[in-house]
Amino acid sequence: MEFIRPSEHNAIPTYRVMDQYGQVINKELDVETSDEEALTLYKNMVCLSIMDLLMFEAQRQGRLSFYMMSAGEEGIAIGTASALTPADVIFCQYRETGVFMQRGFTLDQFMNQLFANSKDYGQGRNMPVHYGSSDLNIHTVSSPLATQIPHAAGAAYAVKLQNQQQSDKEPRVVVCFFGEGAASEGDFHAALNIAATREAPAIFICRNNGYAISTPTRDQYRGDGIASRGAGYGMDTLRVDGNDIFAVRRAVKEARKIALEDGGKPVLIEMMAYRVGHHSTSDDSFAYRQKVEVEDWKRRDNPITRMRKWLEGRGVWDEEKERELRSVLRKDVLKAFEKAEKLKKPAIVNAFAGVYEELTDEAKAHIAELKDILERYPNEYDVDQYEGGLDSLTQALEKKQ
Residue 280 annotated among the catalytic residues of the structure: yes
349 interacts with other proteins by CB under 8 A? no
Residue 279 annotated among the catalytic residues of the structure: yes
278 interacts with other proteins by CB under 8 A? no
Within 10 angstroms of residue 365's Cβ, the number of other Cβ atoms is 12
Pairing of strands 89-91, 215-216: unpaired
- Catalytic site residue from 37, 65, 143, 282: 143
Question: Nearest CA to 137 among 93, 170, 173?
Answer: 173
185 interacts with other proteins by CB under 8 A? yes
Give the integer Cα–Cα distance in Å for 43 and 13: 30
Close Cβ partners of 301 (under 8 Å, ≥ 6 residues apart): 20, 243
Q: CA 278, 275, 225, 96 torsion: positive or negative?
A: positive
Question: Nearest CA to 88 among 202, 214, 221, 225?
Answer: 202
* 69 half-sphere exposure, CB direction, 13 A CA radius: 28
392 interacts with other proteins by CB under 8 A? no
**Contact code string over 128-147 relative to other proteins, x by CB under 8 A:** --x-----------xxxxx-
Give the integer Cα–Cα distance in Å for 371 and 44: 45
355 interacts with other proteins by CB under 8 A? yes
Nearer to other proteins, 82 or 350 (CB): 350
- Catalytic site residue from 139, 228, 279, 392: 279
* 187 half-sphere exposure, CB direction, 13 A CA radius: 19
Least CB distance from residue 291 to other proteins, whole Å? 16
Nearer to other proteins, 21 or 286 (CB): 286
212 interacts with other proteins by CB under 8 A? yes
38 interacts with other proteins by CB under 8 A? no
121 interacts with other proteins by CB under 8 A? no
184 interacts with other proteins by CB under 8 A? yes
Catalytic residues: 57, 143, 279-280
Residues that bind other proteins (CB under 8 A): 65-66, 116, 124-127, 130, 142-146, 181-182, 184-187, 212-215, 219-221, 287-288, 345-346, 351-352, 355, 362
